[in-house]
A and B are shown apart, each in its own frame.
Chain A
Amino acid sequence: MLTRIACLLALIASTLHAEDAESLFVRRVWPLFQEKCLACHGNDEKKIKADYDMRTYESATKGGESETKALVPGKPDESPLYLASTRQHEDWEPMPPKEADQLKPEQLAWIKEWITSGAPWPDEAKRNVIAKASAEKWSAEDGITVKVVGALSPEWANRRYKPESLWGYQPVKKPVLSNQPSVHPIDELLAVKDPAPAADARTFIRRATFDLTGLPPTPEEVEAFATAYDRSNPSDQTDLIGTLIDKLLSSLHYGERMARHWLDVVRYADSSGFANDYERGNAWRYRDYVVRSFNADKPYDQFIREQIAGDALLESDAGTPARNDASSAGKSARITPNSELLIAPGFLRMGPWELTGMEVAKVARQRFLDDVTNSVGETFLAHSLQCARCHDHKFDPVPTHDYYAMQACFSTTQLTEREAPFLKEENTAGFEEKKHLETRRAEHMAVLQRLDDKLLQNAQKWLADKKLDSAKWNAAVTQAKKGGGKNPKKGFSDVFGTARQILTKQGLPEDSFPPKLVGFEPEDFGNERVARKGLERLKWEMERYEPYAFSVYDGVTIPMVTVYQPLRMPGDRMKNGELEQTAILGGGDPFSPTAKVKPGVLSIFGSVEFPEGIEGRRTALAKWIASKDNPLTTRTLVNRLWLWHFGQAIAGNPNNFGSTGKKPTHPELLDFLAATLVEKNWSIKEMHRLIMTSAAYRRTSFPTRSKTDESENSSYATFTPRRLMAEELRDAMLSITGELNPTLGGIPNRPEINIEVAMQPRQVMGTFASAWVPNPLPQQRHRRSLYALKIRGLRDPFMEVFNEPAPDFSCEAREVSTVTPQVFSLFNGQASYDRALALANRVLKEKAADPIVRIFTLAYSRQPTADEKAACEAHWQQMIAKQTTLTFAKTQPPLEIRRDAVEENTGEKFSFQEKLPGYTDFVPDLQPADCDAKTRALADVCLVLLNSNEFAYLY
């Protein structure tokens, strides 16, 4: 302590030579001002805070609205500039305001020393001279500058970076290994001291099976593996593990599991979010594309190229071999579209997006551009590019120019649902459910017809009340009725509206014929709205069964006002619109373009040739990203893979390799994996093999040391256990009850979710979204959770409480929290009770020799101990006594539901009946009423097991 005080005193006392003080300013103080102060105190003249401008010595000295001199040369303790920075002085607000931005003691000392030494402030020219003269010396000590293009200020361009904060940009350097065959390269690089031994066979097969398929192993698989493993010597055990991994990698469920991880990152959902939250009827084809790609072990570089520019690859005829043998014989003139390549760029549209009449179209377009720019950065490059949207990046060498250069790659990218015949690999089963949507459409049409009739009646009454001549009106009505009265534009009956139009066109005064919606009651307003908007919403839902891809094309930007139905390809995509000229946007505002920007990439990597026409921009971007020499790309992927196996990434923020993200704990290992990925032809399956055969992955989770011995969690001395993800929990339950329908892919299914949430009215623009009606058949409902319809505005509460991420932001790693609603969901909820009953029923129906043993092997992959067995047996008996006294009625699904709402036009309450035709052929899961007391009592035991910690955690 004493020495510290002495040092501080020495610091305070010191005054520097004039030259040194100037150097201190140029080297330390001015850059500090740049970084911490000038954003509010000078950079934007219009927005200078507290009237304090720090751009020049004069203004910085003068002070701001406090009218106190801010800088007193020689006297730091009388200089508010310094005092505010200390955050300790009661007269001065702490600066910078954000606590997280506060100056470090070292930085404060620089300011203090500089003021003590007279606060010299060389002008820009002199600053450059000083900087240039000392460049070499400082560079060694302070970090390095990097060359980028288009920085907004020379200071930013000359900013110095600590080399360690630029780790992500360095070329991948494969470490030299000892090449001892007995040491796995990963283990050599982890260099774990005092490692725990390998996990036992049962633990390992459970771990590996969940990790690669998201499902538990069957008791038979466990038994076979464990028996063989326990009989083998270590070398054969290694072979057994290799065989197991190969088997799991060849399971089609592998692709589903990896897709779950990937879709977290890209924010997959089946709806648009925001006001309308329209369904994205064909988004499922992208989801299945991802599953197929992982299952096929598509080289990752190709996977990137397809998602960024598949449509362009197709047009340049450089597509994948998986060509569609389309039966589109009638369209022989055209090249058969390779649907896969049209589906893949759905990635670019995964963010929430819509354009309603309430929004400015240009703003909405810009939202898409910002979203896709950032998404590409986060997903493939571990760069949160949005930080450079309004200014040069605060911490990373990404000028705002780079942001817009990347954005320019998408300025000719247009949204479309484009024709793409179904591939034979795609699951097109279940389309017959469309009939329920057609029923709903017919009902909406009928309501509109009825209301039209009502309006016509009300019109007569209105005319009579006003004592107006009805002749012209009646003539208009007669005319409107010709052709069935259907308004072709609207697609439904609107005689009343058409008649009004006729008279308006004739130039009749507005008050001489009935007004819009004449005589409507609150209920009529509501019903009309629900039906009209309902028809609109159905267009999106019907898209699900159509051979269209949720995709993009290159072209000019065609003016749009609203998007209320799927967007088809325009006749000529090069005409009738604007060729967008990307520019740096002041404050990110699309109405404040400044300097024009050409398409490009992160300029720290040097320049890349880019086409500037309409086509080819994304292809060039994809080529740059998917290059073996792009160190961000390869590191980003292997870092994610590591996270998916170990629950923690090597670089702790998988979406952010910038200086604010966590640094890699094992940089050499990360580079080894990145280099290996390229060597293995970008094969992801090879990477799993590599990672999973390491001793680190095979280790037990039991610590070898005493509990008091604390080590870093990144030491990998033990394997870190994890709670199952929401989807794994549900899928595992379905799997052990035998209910799981393992079919791959296809249109989204609708499992039963909490019925109150399913029936909950939900406002969407101008109406209510329709209720969540589950699929009629159990096998349709019991698909893997990956396939459940994912609506942004309606989350399955079970998934939500178990930390399923919301699809608004990219999820780099799942959170795991333990909150009470999880208990309500898993212990009280209908779904888990149904599973418990199904498990009990399965075991009893199988006539298992010992039901309790069977349940344990299914749920835990092991036999019960004698105590456990006794406790469960006793409970079963006790519950039989209890259940015998209970009777259960069969529940009937609701065929319609009353909706209570406040009507927008009138502010009055109104209610309507929503029909639920989807429930007409509903077959419920096994119900308590179907089972005897013995089964129900065993279900109590099963429910307990499904809720137990051993089931929820993976070791």
Chain B
Amino acid sequence: MNAPFFPCAGSRALHAPTRREFVYGLGTSLGSVALTSLLAAEQKSPLAPKPQMVPAKAKNCIFLMMEGGPSHIDCFDPKPVLEKLHLKEFTREGKMKSAMESGKRYYVKSPFKFAQHGQSGAWMSEPWQHLSKVADELCFYRGCQVDSVNHPTAMYQMNCGNRFGGDPAIGSWVNYGLGSVNQDLPGFIVLPEISYPQGGSANWGNGYLPAHFQGTALRAKGSPILDLQPPQGITPEHQRANLDLLGKLNAKHAEEHPWHDELKARMNNYELAFRMQMQVPEVIGLEKEDAKTKEAYGIGTDATDAFGRKCLLARKLVEKGVRFVQLYAGTWDSHDYIERAHGNLIRQVDQPIAALIADLKQRGLLDDTLIVWCGEFGRTPDNGVRGGTAYGRDHNPKAMTIWMAGGGCKAGHSIGSTDDRGMEAIEEVHHVRDLHVTLLRLLGLDDNKLTFYHGGRFKQLSQIGGQVIDKLIA
């Protein structure tokens, strides 16, 4: 295929800006003019690859979104002091108290044993049986803080920088900044759970960026892309015949409106779509992967099958040049029964993630690929008595663990720390906007240059600008 496939050649906002289009286009915003000026004039596609703004190793990103708020205290940030405090009463003071924190509260120790792994001595809880084997590939970060204590707003903030939704997701920004090396696939692909997270698809929306940068969800069940196939009974040949008639009518119409450039873009779009519906199933199918690889990812085993498939597909997509792949797993919102809930969740993602890292490394792709693992916030060391004798944890925007692998991050290090109870970050503390700036930097982008004019001002992922967390970069 020569023509770009998903982000068709035809958005008024994006394709090569002949003056004509501004003459006859509609609603062209200054933003799109700014963007088109970003594109070299000869570039035909909005998603044509663009050079990095600053030198960096990572070219792609696989973002593992552990929706619901995984507990740092039970995964990567052991707090032995909680053993002693276990079930001792806890009182929270202060104005920021919500109903979640009402009633009697108690400290809760982690049900999991912790051990250090690899040469770096990274702490991990017992259920991380596989990830612990690639411990030295990971860079842990314990200093991040977010603003919101509520899922959807925290999810929006982690994904899009803004708590209230409607802003572009990181994957959209990255594609806007770097373009895509594969014009035949969307540059930003999301592999959601069967049930969408709170806040829905706005978590991977393009916001005010042009629609080409929207995350394309490959749905976990049913048609991976909505209406990818024609209604039942309609063969490709049948559809081809319809397309030919459409071509005829459109050609005549275009002849009568030679100055109207959008028409051609829209015509091309139909041909692209037709090719796409043949090719996508093959691109995203895992049938041709060998049995050993599938086994390594945990495919075929009940607990790990679903996430294993996502991880393997993520590798395939990155290999094909998809710039940004985001995987969802959840929900990690374990207010009760943390041992059971987190234990199960860790088991579901542990082996697939470890396999992904090993696989990328073996294929020489890990240096090029930044892997990020995080939730929208961490969890508290205490809990109310929601489930009687069941122990869980509430939401904690002040402390969390994020880890990265590959892509020029500082592997084999743990950066930042939280207080002795895991309540609050105390060292190398940064607002999530700095994390965003750092992720962009790892991908060769400068948040201060990656701006888009919208609604009368230049907007950026970090909202107001932030600083790179240098310690996270190798």
Which residues of A come within 8 Å of B, CB atoms? 49, 97-101, 273-275, 352, 356-363, 367, 384, 387, 510-511, 515-518, 561-562, 591, 647-648, 652-653, 655-656, 658, 660-662, 701-703, 707, 710-713, 718, 720-723, 754, 756-757, 760-765, 768, 792-795, 797, 801, 803, 806, 808-809, 812-825, 827-830, 833, 865, 867-868, 871-872, 875, 878-879, 882, 886, 888, 899-902, 904-908, 928, 940-941, 943-945, 947-950, 952-953, 955
Contact = CB atoms under 8 A, between A and B. Distances in A.
A362 B273 contact: no
Contacts of A819: 6-8, 11, 211-212, 214, 269
Contacts of B233: 886, 888, 928
Contact of A358 (B149, B257, B457): B149
14 contacts: A99-B446, A99-B451, A516-B388, A713-B22, A768-B195, A793-B198, A818-B8, A875-B242, A902-B193, A904-B333, A904-B336, A905-B340, A940-B238, A948-B253
A795 B267 CA distance: 26
Given A656-B455, A713-B28, A754 B150 contact: no
B147 to A, nearest CB: 9
Contact of A815 (B13, B164, B226, B456): B13
A358 B211 contact: no
A905 B337 contact: yes
A762 B217 CA distance: 14
Contacts of A655: 455-456
B437 to A, nearest CB: 10
Contact of B336 (A97, A821, A905): A905
A902 B270 CA distance: 38
Contacts of B289: none
Interface stretch (B109-117, B170-178, B199-207, B405-413): B199-207
Nearest to A830: B231
Given A809-B166, A820-B269, A950 B253 contact: yes
A660 B457 contact: yes
A396 to B, nearest CB: 9
A824 B26 contact: no
B84 interface: no
B149 A359 contact: yes
A830 B257 CA distance: 31
Contact of A756 (B200, B219, B249, B341): B219
Contacts of B68: 904
A828 B229 contact: yes
A947 B389 contact: no
B273 A274 contact: no
A87 to B, nearest CB: 11
A907 B334 contact: yes
Interface of B: 5-8, 10-14, 19-20, 22-30, 68, 95-100, 102, 149-153, 164-166, 193-202, 205, 210-212, 214, 216, 219, 222-223, 225-231, 233, 238, 241-242, 245-246, 248-250, 252-254, 257-260, 262-263, 265-267, 269-270, 272-273, 276-277, 330-337, 340-345, 348, 386-390, 395, 446, 448-449, 451, 453, 455-458, 460, 465, 467
Contacts of B273: 820, 823-824, 827
Contact of B194 (A827, A875, A901, A950): A901
B231 A833 contact: yes
B227 A904 contact: no
A515 B389 contact: yes
A941 B249 CA distance: 11
Nearest to A831: B227
Contact of A824 (B97, B99, B228): B228
A359 B457 contact: no
Given A358-B98, A907-B343, A821 B225 contact: yes
Query: What are the 4 A-B residue pairs with the smallest beta carbon separation, nearest first?
Result: A515-B388, A357-B99, A907-B341, A808-B166
Contacts of A662: 30, 456
Nearest to A560: B99
A660 B252 CA distance: 43
Contacts of B389: 510-511, 515
B340 A647 contact: no
Contacts of B29: 652, 813, 815
Given A515-B387, A824-B225, 8 more contacts: A98-B458, A515-B388, A760-B196, A818-B11, A819-B6, A824-B273, A867-B252, A905-B334
Contacts of B8: 818-820
A710 B23 contact: yes
B24 A713 contact: yes
B20 A710 contact: yes
Nearest to A267: B166
Contact of B227 (A97, A562, A656, A754): A754
B225 A660 contact: no
Contacts of A516: 386-388, 390
Contact of A356 (B24, B150, B263, B269): B150
Contacts of A872: 245
B27 A949 contact: no
Nearest to B274: A823
A452 to B, nearest CB: 16
Contact of B150 (A358, A515, A721): A358
A829 B227 contact: yes
